[in-house]
Structure 1
């Protein structure tokens, strides 16, 4: 059973293939083992992202665990995963339109039993090794920026680098932007930062219970759920290197945005190979 339906994996692969760097020709004498097809490795990496587990669990007769790691590092060094996420976001903005006037930021802690970069002792999990993702999402709830750090870091110091992820859109930002935050950001330092960046804000006050459906913060909570419930490798971090951790985050965000793009486009546009039923993209 595929990790993702063909209606998602096929357009994702088409864009991913267009971003791949050129590969050197094989040995002229033909005495070297032929290179494993990029599509096979791509499908294995997507399966590992969705299902979780080690590289050895996803290796088989077609591709080894060493090849999966090598190709992952090769594509990460070439910036393919980050370029894929950027291309999908720009396509959504072109066809549907990103809502950059309403932003939400929140942190999410997950387990990281192998330790490594961007990990720390999680105070909410008996001091076990964990990782925090500070996620920035736009008005539709789509992730447009993620900052990784140790689980022992507070949300507030990560707000500046998280909001700086907006620089990926260049000069296409609206004149005024409102940021919705929870009570963990309720401080004078946060307000000074938002004034410096020219943003409006709505922060839940400390010590006051406000139903989440009365604010726009349910968007970021849903996005964190998409990350942890939809991708096993984001629920439990197994890679120790920062570049690999960032690559998986870029790929997961690209899948989330592409899924929403297909669902929105189904009611707005028509094309020859459009599936008959919309639920195939849910």
Structure 2
């Protein structure tokens, strides 16, 4: 039996995604060309996300529709907030399966090049001043992405510590109030700032952040390595290794969709 391609959407995943998509009623008068099926277009978006191929080179023989059709649908669904809702639904399923660990969370940032510029780019200090962006990520204790943000490549990691904690959605999946805050947040020396420690505590979270100037061997690495592994999983999606999108919302849409797909893979591995 042939192994399914990573951009192929099975019935189970589509049953989760389809209710989240905005309904578009066809006009009675002058309906125009029939809208390409959402499922095929979504597979075209996944093809670009996985392979990093340019929209204009999307293979027509696979039935995804044109690259412009897929791009427009991605922009439409991103504007409608489909990807954060999909991520939240899958996080709730993981929590319902006791697969989320809110006892601790880990944060980190990762630089990528932004070859076409655009909003949320800047001169990257780790890439000889070239224009770049930065992915910022918070994961649970097992490495599941809880939230991600995008900034210019010149932004310090610590400036995104509070936005990341605030970006974690209310995760349902169990009786009672949804869970939103981890008990502890782990960070490397890039997050060492007493002001931000106070702000983290004000959110009801305990900061566990390495101090600058101290020797290595604090033991944090044995717990926060999960966020580095999560970045490896994210950047396995080739479209996220280099930022090709001038529009920051489109790149953020790809980023959140990738986080949701990682959650989906973890769900399937539990069976």
In the alignment, the residues of structure 1 paired with residue 94 and residue 182 of structure 2 have an alpha-carbon distance, to the nearest angstrom, of 21
Aligned to 1:148: 150
Cα distance, 1:74 vs structure 2: 1.5
Contact 2:170 2:179 in 1 (8 A): no
Deviates more, 1:109-118 or 1:206-215: 206-215
Higher fraction of helix: 1
| Equivalent of 2:259 in 216, 231, 253 | 253
Q: Tell me the matched-pair count.
A: 262
Q: Which residue of structure 1 aligns with residue 15 of structure 2?
A: 14
Against the structure 1 CA distance between its residues 159 and 93, is the aligned structure 2 distance closer, same or farther, given a 3 Å change threshold?
Answer: same
Cα separation, partners in 2 of 1:214 and 1:104, compared to 1, 3 Å: closer
C-alpha separation in 2, matches of 1:211 and 1:236:
33
**Any idea what SS the aligned residue of 1:168 has?**
coil
> Over residues 244-275 of structure 1, what are the superposed CA-to-partner deviations in whole Å (9 max), with x where a residue is unaligned?
122111210111011011112x2xxxxxxxxx
C-alpha separation in 2, matches of 1:176 and 1:92:
15
Q: What residue is the counterpart of 1:243 in the other structure?
A: 249
For 1:54, the equivalent position in structure 2 comes to: 54
| Distance in 2 of aligned mates of 1:173 and 1:263 | 23
* Alignment root-mean-square deviation, CA: 2.3
Aligned position for 1:224: 231
Question: Under a length normalisation based on structure 2, what TM-score does the superposition of the two structures give?
Answer: 0.88
Q: CA deviation at 1:176?
A: 6.8
Structure 1 residues 193 and 72, CA gap change in structure 2 (3 angstroms): same
Correspondence 1:192 to 2:198: yes
1:78-123 Cα deviation digits (max 9, x unpaired): 2212211111111111123421121101111111111112111111
Does the CA-based 8 Å contact 2:210-2:220 persist in structure 1? no
1-structure distance, mates of 2:266, 2:10: 14
The answer for unaligned runs of 5 or more in structure 1 is 267-282
Q: Report if aligned partners of 2:210, 2:218 keep a CA contact under 8 Å in 1.
A: no
Alpha-carbon distance in structure 1 between the residues aligned to 2:182 and 2:37: 47
Q: Distance in 1 between matches of 2:128 and 2:88?
A: 37
The whole-number CA distance in structure 1 between the counterparts of 2:182 and 2:97 is 22
TM-score, length basis structure 1? 0.85
